[in-house]
Amino acid sequence: MNNNSGILEQLRSRYGEDTFKTQTTKDDILTLWLPVDHVPEVLKFLKHDLPQPFLLLFDLTAIDERTRKPENGHIPYSFTLIYHLFSFERNTFIRLKAGLREDFPKAPSISGLWQNANWYEREVYDMFGIRFEGHPHLSRILMPRTWVGHPLRKEHPARATEMGPFQLYDDKIDLEQSALQFKPEEWGLAKQSDDTDFMFLNIGPQHPGTHGVLRIILQLDGEDIVDAIPDIGFHHRGAEKMGERQSWHTYIPYTDRVDYLGGVMNNLAYLQAVEKLAGIEVPERVKYIRVMLCELFRIASHLVWYGTFAQDVGQLSPVFYMFTDREKIFDIIEGICGGRMHPNWFRIGGVAQDMPKGWEQLVQRFIDYFPKRLKEYDAMVMKNSIFKARTVGIGIFTKEEAIEWGVTGPNLRACGFEWDFRKMRPYSGYEMFDFEVPTASNGDCYDRAVVRVAEMRQSLRIIEQCVKNMPSGPYKSDHPITTPPIKQNTMHDIETLITHFLGVTWGPVIPPGEAMSCIEATKGANGYYLTSDGNTSPYRVRIRTPSFPHMQMLPYITRGYTVADLLSILGAMDYVLADIDR
Amino acid sequence: METATPNYLLIIGGVLFVMLNVAALLIWVERRGLALLQDRYGPNRAGPFGLLIVAADSIKLFFKQDWIPPFADKPVFILAPAIVVVTVLMSFVVIPFAPGIVVADLNIGLLFFLAMSSMGAYSIILGGWASNNKYSLLGAMRGAAQMISYEVFMGLSLMGVVLMAGSFNLSTIVEAQRGLWFVVPQIIGFVIFFIAGIAETHRLPFDVPEAESELVAGFHSEYSGMKFGMFFIGEYMGITLISCMMVVLFFGGWLGPDFLPPIVWFILKTAFFLGIFILLRASMPRPRYDQLMEYGWKYLLPLTLLNLVVTAGALLWLNDGYR
């Protein structure tokens, strides 16, 4: 994993000894501080000139540092920009940080360097008010255009009760009304070309084909798409802001709702980072339980995608069969967790409860039942010639384009790139399981479907191994920060009683530091980048979701296709609105 | 037929009554049928087996506010749903349900049917145009192109039948099938007519003018209340009409063994095709609009022409054997 040797030496020899300061973090990612004006050229070097380059801009975000306790020895900037890059060849992350000093600072844009930096920079601008110079279209992306303020700045209240009562004055009504007027120029769209007038069609925010509140502005010439612009943010609930006011423990249910089809898999991504910060090693049994539930949710999520995708191309029935099967998975989840879509089941250092009696039969019944159904679906959907006509050769992108746009997960594997974080950077004990990483070769909508269908079979294999090899042992780790802590220790001495009491009432205190986790979620790479200043709640929660960059790529892959193809492309993309907007 | 004259009004009333009720019943049949095929219940609360859902639905539609969008072209907006119902109902005029049970036994019955179904295309175009809505417009454009194209094959695919029966009169065509149903010699004609029929009624897999996941509701996005109900009923009557036509032209109409009266044979055969329509809807995805056109012009049209030439040639060869 630590294949980043030599990078720092090369950087220092190129840009001077004092340009880079290193920082040690809990997640062992090489973390470098550098002056902000060096950012573009250093990133360019890392992307283009370094041997085994960092091709993927994994994440770009910022932190408002102004209320941080100064004693942690960190450099007193007002804001920090954080770039996470990933190198497939080295199989390693690198984290670059650039401090900014003003209250409304400026930074150079890297949108010319990576295609997917565009939206990330807009998001940072929207959330923090940091301006990126040289950005082609720096406007709000998640918040409404009429919004005042930047929500992730620390002076912005996290609760409505901290703000005055909401009032809608007449002039505000007028402002909001006029903001609803559609002006193509504001979106960078031309009204006409040399020979035709374009038609503008709003797909959404309420539309049966968008699977949620998403608006896509289409610029049409007849039925051919000239340009498409996704307008996101309708589902933005401030999940990152909420993290700053919840305790480390009580934030877990919020993660469930980020990729709301992925259920506990979101818990895992978050807890991986928390446990790195706290230094908790979870017992073997916990790993197995977590893996099994995650894989059940992967199948459930893929089933929703499968059914709705078939429905998007006009097939009415499969969605009902697939939801019936998903219901069977939920029966298992309910038997184990009590909850269904958002079980909120994983805990810091373990899971909420031990497995119930008889869970093996429950899961085994599904393992025996499901492969037959998958075969049936193959005949019904994947082999259907109209389905093929609608999806083969539609929405193609290559492996290079995918990486440039930050595409991960099944969509990347459909381009023929065998990259699965479960395999390449195993977490939560995935190295103990025997499974394959399905790929396809063409990178079109059909291949994305092929990969997902094959993944369901592999997930089933992993679940089967969980049932066979489930180790015995405790279901939470014996660590003081485990929440809720192991009760029996409290009966022996006052020290553990007090820790237990505090951990349960205030919530656990996580030692200062920062860590990022990255898991292979249902839709791609999901990462939580957590910063702790040694408090009962995170200083900053950054959620890197796969759907956000996927949606950003939409205009690039829909141009030149028709409205009907757009639905195939959207369906094959497999996004969830909450996963885009958070 | 002249003998039918005394019962004229009775027959007209009967056909009108039966057809409107069949369309309503069909809505229930389809909803329950689809539910059965899709592992769910469907409407099962109102009345026995949920039969009264149709009544409840119609009452709801009748009492809904008669809403015309302010941006719509009013007269045309109102006219469009009427056209679809009128043209379909008019087509039933020429259908011989049994010997003597036909409203007007026209000598040009088949042409009348084709003319009426062409008129039906107007309802989509005008409805979509008058709505002044982009989704409707796209739906109308697709609908117009699709219906006009498929009408070509529909007409041509029937010419084989006309050649064999030597008449455009539907009763004569049925009588001509006494020896052998036309589906056997005219199998290609039948398949093409069936496909064109689905396209004419714009049902899945050829529902591109409505295409729910793309165009919300296509050409009738802006319609509500009973005006929407007319489109809805029109669609189901359209299916019934195409099923009746298939029975009349290819499956011997009312002909069948004597143990059942002719009208029952006719109903049974029609019901079979109605079932096929529902089954199709449950199982097929929707091709893209340009693929649909390509399929029509590149494959169906040459095939239809070939069928026509071969039929005509064979008839000449057999020296008018059927007459």
Cross-strand partners of A200: A219
> What residues of A are in contact with residue B40 (Cβ under 8 Å)?
320
* Residue B320 CB coordination number (10 Å): 9
To the nearest whole number, what is the mean pLDDT of chain B? 83
Residue type, A495: E
Q: Is B294 on the interface with A (CB under 8 A)?
A: no
Output the six-digit token pair for A255.
């993660």
Residues written for chain B: 323
Residues A36, A96 contacting (CB under 8 angstroms): no
Q: Is B204 on the interface with A (CB under 8 A)?
A: yes
Name the pLDDT band for B1 (thresholds 50, 70, 90). Answer: very low
DSSP string, B164-209: HHT-S-HHHHHHTTSSS-TTTTTHHHHHHHHHHHHHHTT-TTS-TT
> Can you give the pLDDT at residue B4?
47
Name the pLDDT band for A326 (thresholds 50, 70, 90). Answer: very high
Q: Residues with Cβ < 8 Å from A411, sequence gap 6 or more?
A: A402, A448, A524, A550, A573, A574
Q: Is A224 on the interface with B (CB under 8 A)?
A: no
Spatial separation of the C-alpha atoms in residues A393 and B282, rounded to whole Å: 26
Spatial separation of the C-alpha atoms in residues B131 and B128, rounded to whole Å: 5
pTM of the model: 0.86
Residue A389, classed as helix, strand or coil, is: helix
Q: Which residue has the tokens 């007090």?
A: A498
Residue A170 has pLDDT above 80, yes or no: yes
The CA-based angle A1-A465-A327, given to 5 degrees, is: 105
Cβ separation of A386 and B205 shorter than 8 Å? yes
Name the percent of chain A lying above pLDDT 70: 98
Name the percent of chain B lying above pLDDT 70: 95
For residues A108, A110, A111, A113, the Cα torsion angle rounded to the nearest 10 degrees is 150
> What residues of A are in contact with residue B281 (Cβ under 8 Å)?
316
Listed in sequence order, the DSSP H helices in A49-169 are 117-128
> Can you give the pLDDT at residue A71?
57
Output the six-digit token pair for B112.
């009348």
| Whole-angstrom Cα Rg for chain B | 20
Picking from A145, A85, A77, the residue whose alpha carbon sits closest to that of residue A105 is A77
Residues A145-169, mean pLDDT to the nearest whole number:
86
| pLDDT tens per residue across span A68-126 | 776 555 567 888 899 999 988 888 888 988 888 888 888 898 888 888 899 999 999 99
Name the percent of chain A lying above pLDDT 90: 18
Tell me the torsion sign for CA atoms B285, B291, B297, B298: negative
Cβ separation of B285 and A384 shorter than 8 Å? yes
The CA-based angle B303-B305-B308, given to 5 degrees, is: 110
Residues A527-543, mean pLDDT to the nearest whole number:
89
Residues B287-308, mean pLDDT to the nearest whole number:
86
> What residues of B are in contact with residue A209 (Cβ under 8 Å)?
213-214
Look up residue B102 and give its DSSP letter: -
Name the pLDDT band for A303 (thresholds 50, 70, 90). Answer: very high
Q: How many CA atoms lie within 13 A of A165 on its CB side?
A: 2
Spatial separation of the C-alpha atoms in residues B127 and B77, rounded to whole Å: 6
Cβ separation of A389 and B287 shorter than 8 Å? yes
Residue of B135, B213, B281 with shortest CB distance to A312: B213
Q: Residues with Cβ < 8 Å from A368, sequence gap 6 or more?
A: none
Cβ separation of B215 and A563 shorter than 8 Å? yes
Output the six-digit token pair for A309.
């995708």
Q: Is B211 on the interface with A (CB under 8 A)?
A: yes
| pLDDT tens per residue across span A466-479 | 898 888 888 888 88
Burial A345-368, CB ≥16 within 10 A → b, else e: bbbbbbbbebbeeebeebbeebee
> Can you give the pLDDT at residue A2?
52
Cβ separation of B204 and A316 shorter than 8 Å? yes
| pLDDT tens per residue across span A381-392 | 888 888 888 888
Spatial separation of the C-alpha atoms in residues B83 and B115, rounded to whole Å: 13
Residues B138, B302 contacting (CB under 8 angstroms): no
> Can you give the pLDDT at residue B2?
47
Residue A299 has pLDDT above 90, yes or no: yes
Residue A510 has pLDDT above 50, yes or no: yes
Q: Is B286 on the interface with A (CB under 8 A)?
A: yes
Residue A503 has pLDDT above 60, yes or no: yes
Residue A86, classed as helix, strand or coil, is: strand
Find, in chain B, the residue whose alpha carbon is nearest to that of A312.
B213
| H or E segment and range at residue A217 | strand A215-221
Spatial separation of the C-alpha atoms in residues A429 and A289, rounded to whole Å: 10
Spatial separation of the C-alpha atoms in residues B216 and B139, rounded to whole Å: 10
Residues A488, A255 contacting (CB under 8 angstroms): no
| Whole-angstrom Cα Rg for chain A | 24
> What residues of A are in contact with residue B283 (Cβ under 8 Å)?
315, 317, 380
Q: How many CA atoms lie within 13 A of A351 on its CB side?
A: 28
Spatial separation of the C-alpha atoms in residues A36 and A160, rounded to whole Å: 35
Query: Counting beta carbons within 10 angstroms of the beta carbon of residue A51, is it exposed (0 to 12), middle (13 to 18) or buried (19 or more)?
Result: exposed
Q: What are chain A's domains?
A: 7-153 (3.30.460.80), 239-581 (1.10.645.10)
DSSP string, A342-372: ----EETTEESSPPPTTHHHHHHHHHHHHHH
Q: Is A384 on the interface with B (CB under 8 A)?
A: yes
Query: Counting beta carbons within 10 angstroms of the beta carbon of residue A122, is it exposed (0 to 12), middle (13 to 18) or buried (19 or more)?
Result: buried
Residues written for chain A: 582
Residues A152, A130 contacting (CB under 8 angstroms): no
> What residues of A are in contact with residue B285 (Cβ under 8 Å)?
310, 313-315, 384, 386-387, 390
> What residues of B are in contact with residue A320 (Cβ under 8 Å)?
38-40
For chain B, the distance separating the N- and C-terminal CA atoms, rounded to the nearest angstrom, is 21
Picking from A455, A218, A201, A487, the residue whose alpha carbon sits closest to that of residue A353 is A487
> What residues of A are in contact with residue B282 (Cβ under 8 Å)?
316-317
Residues A547, A554 contacting (CB under 8 angstroms): no
Phi, psi of A199 (to 5 degrees): -105, 140
Residue A69, classed as helix, strand or coil, is: coil
Question: HEC profile for A490-536?
Answer: HHCCHHHHHHHHHHHHCCCCCCCEEEEEEEECCCCEEEEEEEECCCC
Q: Which residues numbered 59-118 in A keep a CB inside 8 Å of some CB on B?
A: none
Q: How many contiguous H segments (helices) and E segments (strands) does chain B have?
A: 12, 0
Q: Which residue has the tokens 């679940």?
A: A463
| pLDDT tens per residue across span B210-267 | 766 677 777 888 888 888 888 888 888 888 899 988 998 888 878 878 788 888 888 8
Residues B299, B292 contacting (CB under 8 angstroms): no
Phi, psi of B55 (to 5 degrees): -60, -45
Residue type, A526: N
Picking from A441, A91, A524, the residue whose alpha carbon sits closest to that of residue A265 is A524
